[in-house]
Homo-oligomer: A and B are copies of this chain.
Amino acid sequence: MRLAELSERSGVSTATIKYYLREGLLPPGRQVNTTTAEYDEEHLRRLRLVRAMIQVGRVPVAKVREVLGHVDDDSLGRSIRLGAALWALPQVPEPDDDDEYVRAAHQEVDKLLDELGWENAKQLTTVSPAYRSLVVAVAAFRRLGYEWGAELLAPYAELMYRTAVLDLDNMETYPSEPEQVEFAILGAILNEPVKQALHRMAQEEESIRRYGLE
């Protein structure tokens, strides 16, 4: 397809597509003559991913380029590609390990991983942003006087594990590995609001079931 059709099918203006091409976020089309290039379905898919990261996820252009570099690096195994791409997305600040609440949170999260038998996640604690986010969040609760620890977290972790199984099952319905990795990135950006909204609606439903509307 020509640039105009790519623009129409993606809903992204031709000016923006040209900008993405210049920034290397979209691979160049196949040059048909000096003024015309031809684009295919892979360009359309990539364009949608880039737009989701920039417009919905508010990921900076340099980060988008880094994420795409991991997506396209087929020298890596699938777990590493998934991890590298997701880890390049915006992150929480580093926990302050001198803080007593942070130290307590570290202990509780490590205990949680032991109790759950998440052996793989345990090997990643020094590098995983998710581990660091959890420590920061648990420390925030503890600083407010709430004793969030392994025992209270475990049932939530089990439900989130089942959610992750659903995520990967859905991802595997896509035929190729690049499509799967792209879907995982989109999921990380777009699924959070879906799950958060479903969670709030479930709270409303259950709250009214328990307490009525009186």
Residues in chain A within 8 A of chain B (CB atoms): 11, 48, 51-52, 56, 77-80, 82-83, 86, 92, 118, 120-121, 124, 128-131, 133-134, 136-138, 140-141, 143-146, 148, 152-153, 155-157, 159-168, 170, 186, 188, 190, 192-214
Closest chain B CB from A41 CB (angstroms): 10
Contact of A79 with B205 at beta-carbon distance under 8 Å, contacts A133-B197, A198-B134 already known = no
Q: Across chains A and B, which 6 residue pairs bring their CB atoms closest together, nearest first?
A: A130-B200, A134-B197, A164-B202, A120-B208, A133-B197, A137-B193
Is the beta-carbon distance between A124 and B77 smaller than 8 angstroms? Answer: no
Q: How many copies does the complex hold?
A: 2
* Residue from B11, B121, B199, B207 in contact with A205 in the complex, judged by beta carbons closer than 8 Å: B121
A83 near B166: Cβ-Cβ < 8 Å: no
Nearest residue (CB) in B for A157 is B198
Contact A160 B211 (CB under 8 A): no
State whether B164 touches A203 (Cβ < 8 A): yes
Also in contact, A128 and B204, with CB within 8 A (given A77-B212, A197-B133, A210-B168): yes
A146 neighbours in B (Cβ, 8 Å): 186
Pairwise interchain contact B213-A77, C-beta atoms closer than 8 A = yes
CB–CB B159/A162 < 8 A: yes
Q: With a CB–CB cut-off of 8 A, which chain B residues contact A209?
A: 120
- Residues of chain B within 8 A (CB-CB) of A166 are 155-156, 159
Residues of B within 8 A of A83 (CB): 204, 207
Chain B residues, CB < 8 A from A211: 77-79
Partner of A199, one of B78, B145, B160, B203: B160
**Interface contact A48-B160, CB-CB below 8 Å:** no
Q: Knowing A146-B186, A211-B79 touch, does A196 contact B205 (C-beta < 8 A)?
A: no
